[in-house]
Structure 1
Amino acid sequence: MDFSLTKEQEMLKKVAAQFAEAELEPAAEEMDREHVFPVENFKKMVKVGFTGIGVPREYGGVGGGALEKVIAVSEFGKKCMTSASILSIHLIAPQNINKYGTPEQKEKFLPRLTSGGELGAFALTEPNAGSDAGAVKTTAILDKETNEYVLNGTKCFITGGARAGILVVFALTDPKKGLKGMSALIVEKGTPGFTGGKIESKMGIAGSETAELIFEDCRIPASNLLGKEGQGFKIAMQALDGARIGVGAQAIGIAEGALDLAIKYSKERIQFGKPIGTLQGIQWYIADMATRTMAARSLVERAAALEDAGKPYSKESAMCKLFAAENARFVTNLALQIHGGYGYMKDYPLERMYRDAKITEIYEGTSEIHKVVIARAVMG
């Protein structure tokens, strides 16, 4: 198997790394401290083309697929997990509109999400519908007289939800059918009846706004139905498969970033008259961190390659997200330990990275849910 990148992918990796170092890293500490969405940095992401990954050029995108997303998101994650999270989750909306949308929907919405500067969001979770997506209660009932869906309900923990210009929202168009009655709708910010609620104060990725969304008799044109009525659960699950690869990319990015810092510090920190990196205990830490992180990247890239090839990848996306997320926590923990007291201080980035890493085990499906998915896949 050829694990080498193409010339175009190598260039993307180089550009993403340079962008992360020059634009994202300097603002990472302030975003974490002030809980501020990086408006200017997002504009720069748009200008460079990162927000158009996975979307054809005819709609303002830059082409590519899941592997290109992994490359960009993981490079961002090395320097700023908030920014990696924002890009990874933003891309869910344009990629799903590109996959399931009508020509008219693509023409109307994709340029705004790829090169137009609007943030995208994916709204599935509700107060009583987290891991159990089938418990969604939000409804979208068709008013045949006006040919509009009347959307009512509340979503929670939606990344970028209150700030996003275009959202893919999941609701029951036929509540009697349960999951078979779930559909996906494209909802625009500013639609009457759609308001943003509470902005959550979080343990990590503080600059990526996580919001409550409230829909009260919010009227959505029937032309904004994504796919067909009743396809919502299928669309959501397939979208989550891709999103889990994105979270895996975030996880390997932050792990690689923490490993780089640990290696650098272990060479510079002098104790007992020599660098701590000469101590066997530290070397074993570094060896475990490097080996597990390489394994995590291999799992994530394999899942991305399967998605790009159009092959089934649900099991692999769950595996890569599960392993990469647990490894992110493992590596940031050891990197902080290597830094000792300095690692615990906010003057060093490890304290922030340790907090940021935890979310990868929770959003887009908890680690426990992924174990259920994997077990069902391998046991039949």
Structure 2
Amino acid sequence: MITGALEVTNGILLALALAGAWAMAYRRSSLKEWTIYGAAALAVLTLFSGFSGVGLAISWLIFAAVAVPLNMDKIRLTYISGPILKLFRKIMPTMSQTEKEALDAGTVWWDGEIFAGDPNWKKLLSIPKPTLTEEEQAFLDGPVEAACRMCDDWKVVHEDADLTPETWQFLKDEGFFSMIIKKKYGGKDFSALAHSEVLAKLSAHSATLASTVAVPNSLGPAELLQHYGTEEQKNHYLPRLAKGLDIPCFALTNPEAGSDAGSIPDTGIVCKGQYQGKEVIGMRMNWNKRYITLAPVATVIGLAFKMFDPEGLLGDKKDIGITCALIPRNFPGVEAGRRHIPLGTPFMNGTTKGKDVFIPLDFIIGGVDMAGHGWRMLVECLSVGRSISLPSSAAGGARAGAIATGAYARIRRQFKTAIGQMEGIEEALGRLGGNAYRMEAVRAFTAFAVDLGEKPSVPSAIAKLHVTEMGRQCANDAMDIQGGKAIVMGPRNAAGRAYMAVPIGITVEGANILTRNLILFGQGAMRCHPYVLKELDAAANTDDKQALKDFDKALFGHVGFVISNAFRSLWLGLSRGYFAKAPATPTKRYYQHLTRISSSFAILADVSMAVLGAELKRKESVSARLGDALAMMYIGSAVLKRWEDQGRPAADRPFVDWAMDDCIYQADKAMSDLLKNYPNKFVGAGLRALIFPLGFRTPGASDKLSHKVSALLIEPNEARDRLAKDVYTEDHKFNLIGQMETVLRDTIAAEPIVKKIDKAIRKGELAVPSHIFDLPTKINYALEAGMINEAEKELLTRYEAGRLETITVDDWDHEDMVRAQYQKKQTSKKSAA
């Protein structure tokens, strides 16, 4: 009896001790707290348990052997942290200057929270709601709407290969090229959010129009000048850029250096030469650039090149480094080059070359003091520009595609049923609507980060990569649903040009395949991890005393971080996140799932960095899948924030649920696929047991949910209206979306009347000959029989005309097709000239 009671007591005390240790790990206790807890737990076991004295004595000795040196700074620094620092310095991955500048350029924002394993959801929800000023909203409702109204995208793409002169002038006069320029220079000084909204709305109507507006407001001369230019440069160029008197481009990409921009072979050699009749120190420039948007029409060229001073005219440094300069197009030796023809949209994109172009040193952006700082300038601005241009374009196009395809799916009938009500179509429509919703969430969330003063390097990479990839999926789904209507080119095709243009966003500003495999997690691991960058900085410090002190602090913080995330991951995996802290909202479970994923991701990332070390740079599949998981958590956070900001509209829940279910599924799948293919099978098996202790159990979005999302897209409702906000939906001769919206409303109103007529015919209550199938004839019979009135006849007639126009595809005479191709060739020749 006594022995049994002692065993029970021992078991209970040991279980409590282990539970306490688990709780300590879960809450990320400090080394001092662990020491106090360990001593207290051993004391309780010594006083109240029935364990043997020898066993307890050994436990105390082990505890003392570990706790004493860890808690005595001199011993810990000398015998633990010091040797580890020496080893760390030997094995830590080498980092180029361009990599270091890229890491130093951005800021850590919400990405740091989700990387750290325990997101602070109060912090997310405390971020202010993104809003536009009255001036910004008026610009969207006025000039932006007018620009869309002016643009016949079919004519732009297939006949003129350019915007009309009137549209170009309108864009200049209304300040479309000055959205980021300060008011004191004549610009609009819009917020990043407004800039993003404008591009999204333009993109929903015309990719050519949006691309033309995007470049002057993105990474380029105006952005660089405002941050780094001399006062003389700002005062000269910025007012001219704001008024459209100068059209800018920025030339970075070389045939030999695309994504590897740090290897550009374009050069500027410091030398003496003639400028305005005087001999001055300047540079002899030689460059060959391609894929440069607005280069064919630019009057001032921003140029990135490598600067060298072989004669030492500026000092001892011969290889000065990447530098940025502004060069007027009319300078001797500058060649604008010929146009490229980007897929699906002929925006002004082409080449620029320069042969032995001599420029003075004050053409360097920021003057001589900024020589060699070009890469830092570019990456600092890139995190801002990349947050806006392409995510906005993709999100705007996806929303337009979702609205247009939903309308088409309700208007188009097969087997006497609207195709949008067929389960196969519902799956694609559900995916289209869910993706469009979360793309819009990421667009606004990331752009607003810039307005909050952030330079979100990792979020901008996530937004560019995943929003454009989701845009690709949306374009595919729109094409599949619209079918033959979408594959026949002509003025009636609402999907084809957007589909063809998708690869542009995938490719530019860093190819997605490169961003996913090399950059996203590689940059995120350094920027967002709470300890890795601190350890690297400490190891790089030449002051050994301070380096050791800083490294010690980061090292033991990191150890506690890993232990905590291991326990958190197992506990949250076993409980499926049910006990994770989360805001008390109707979407609480999604917050809990994201917390579970965050903890699992944190331990997976740490173990991968420890096991693979510098090799992780070359394990692109590992890096890519870690990046996917990180991205899905960020996207999910944006979706939840959007729903909260909009006042938790119940009507939008299908969009939210689809987006979140898929984000959670994709994050878990990325980690599961990584563990299945882990380079070290033993470590992979251990991590799988830790992260997925109950197996992979994430279902993703259900068919029932796809049905709900699809139902929102195929008829007017408040959720659909919110998704379509700031999409150009005016019923205008150049706007197919607006035309289909009118037909959709007529379809909803006409359907009950059509059903009434068909039912009457089937029952013999309305005598219509069996060979009559067309609705207009049926309408006349129904009117004569008094079954409908004149107003209903007018509605049905208008509906039938609109329905036929919606499903009709364009056809051409052979001569017209040949003539169109000839005109296009002539236009291209004129543009090149």
Partner SS for 1:226? coil
The answer on whether the counterparts of 1:158 and 1:213 sit within 8 Å (CA) in structure 2 is yes
Q: Tell me whether 1:311 sits opposite 2:437 in the alignment.
A: no
2:327 corresponds in structure 1 to: 187
Aligned residue among 209, 218, 225 for 2:357 = 218
Give runs of aligned pairs for residues 1-380 of structure 1, distance below 5 A: 1-8=127-134, 9-15=136-142, 17-24=144-151, 26=152, 28-34=153-159, 36-38=161-163, 39-92=165-218, 93-144=221-272, 145-174=279-308, 181-206=321-346, 208-227=347-366, 228-244=370-386, 245-347=388-490, 348-371=493-516, 372-380=518-526
Deviation track 1:165-222 (CA, whole Å, cap 9, x = no partner) reads 122101111288899611000111111110122322332221x122111111112232
Partner Cα distance (2:166, 2:519) in 1: 39
Q: Which protein has the bigger helix share?
A: 2
Cα distance per residue 1:64-104 (max 9 Å; x no partner): 13222111111000000011111111223312211211111
Offset of residue 295 of structure 1 = 1.4
What is the number of residues matched between the two proteins? 377
Change (3 A) 1:295 1:270: same
Alpha-carbon distance change, 315 to 175 in structure 1, aligned in 2, over 3 angstroms: farther
Rg (Cα) greater in structure: 2
Query: Cα deviations across residues 33-70 of structure 1 (Å, max 9, x unaligned)?
Result: 13622243222112222211011112120011322211
Q: Provide the secondary structure at the position in 2 that maps to 1:155.
A: strand
Cα distance in 2 for residues equivalent to 1:333 and 1:376 = 30
1:7 & 1:165 partners in 2: Cα distance? 32
Please give the secondary structure, in 2, of the residue aligned with 1:181: strand
Distance of aligned partners of 1:337 and 1:298 in 2 relative to their CA distance in 1, 3 Å threshold: same
Q: Give per-residue Cα distances to partners, 1:281-330, cap 9 Å, x unaligned.
A: 32332222122122122222222222222223010110001111111111
Does structure 1 retain, via aligned residues, the 8 Å contact 2:143–2:174? no
Aligned equivalents of 1:82 and 1:254: distance in 2? 12
Code of the residue aligned with 1:99 in structure 2: it is H
Long gaps (5+) in structure 1:
none
> Residue type of the partner of 2:468?
A
CA separation of 1:241 and 1:175: change in aligned 2, threshold 3 A: farther
Distance 1:104-1:315 versus aligned 2 partners, 3 A rule: same
Q: 1:263 to 1:367 in 2, by over 3 A?
A: same
Cα RMSD, aligned residues only? 2.0
Deviation, structure 1 residue 163: 1.2
Given that residues 147 and 171 in structure 2 are in contact (C-alpha distance below 8 angstroms), is that contact kept between their aligned partners in structure 1? Answer: no
CA distance in 1 between counterparts of 2:443 and 2:268 reads 36
Q: For residues 52 and 199 of structure 1, do their structure 2 counterparts lie closer, same or farther at Cα, with a shift above 3 Å needed?
A: same
TM-score using structure 1 length: 0.93
Contact 2:270 2:308 in 1 (8 A): no
> Separation in 1 of the partners of 2:309 and 2:155?
44
How far apart are residue 225 of structure 1 and its match? 0.8
CA distance in 1, matches of 2:281, 2:331: 16
- Residues 107-160 of structure 1 show CA distances to partners (whole Å, capped at 9, x for unaligned) of 111112111343211100000010000111111123344132221121111111
**Alignment CA distance shift 1:201-1:36 (3 Å):** same
Change (3 A) 1:278 1:374: same
> Residues of 1 paired with 2:319 and 2:345: CA distance?
31
| Partner SS state of residue 173, structure 1 | strand
* 1:99–1:122 CA distance, 2 compared to 1 (3 A): same
2:338 aligned counterpart, secondary structure: strand
CA 1:350–1:140 in structure 2 vs 1: closer, same or farther (change >3 Å)? Answer: same
Query: d(CA) in 2 for partners of 1:20 and 1:262?
Result: 23
Once structures 1 and 2 are overlaid, which stretch shifts more, 278-287 or 336-345?
278-287
Q: Which moved more, 1:264-273 or 1:40-49?
A: 40-49
Bigger mean CA offset, 136-145 vs 67-76:
136-145
- 1:349 offset after TM fit, Å? 2.6
**Amino acid in the other structure paired with 2:284:** V
Deviation of 1:4 after TM superposition, in Å, equals 4.5
Q: Which amino acid aligns with 1:78?
A: A
CA deviation after TM superposition for structure 1 residue 23, in Å: 1.7
Q: Which amino acid aligns with 2:365?
A: L
SS in 2 for 1:197: coil
Comparing 120-129 with 286-295, greater Cα deviation is found at 286-295
Inter-partner Cα distance in structure 2 for 1:283 and 1:364: 34
Give the Cα separation in 1 of the matches to 2:505 and 2:262: 22
One-letter identity of the residue aligned with 1:12: F
The percent of aligned pairs where both chains have the same amino acid is: 24
TM-score under structure 2 length normalisation: 0.44
Q: SS state of the match for residue 147, structure 1?
A: strand
Aligned amino acid, residue 154 of structure 2: E
Q: C-alpha displacement at 1:341, in angstroms? A: 0.4
- Of 264-273 and 289-298, more deviation after overlay is shown by 289-298
Q: Which SS does the other structure have where 2:353 is aligned? A: strand
SS of alignment partner, residue 280 of structure 2: coil
The 8 Å contact of residues 300 and 317 in structure 1, kept in 2 or not, is answered as no
Structure 1: how far apart are the matches of 2:430 and 2:138? Answer: 29
Which one has a larger percent strand, Structure 1 or Structure 2? Answer: 1
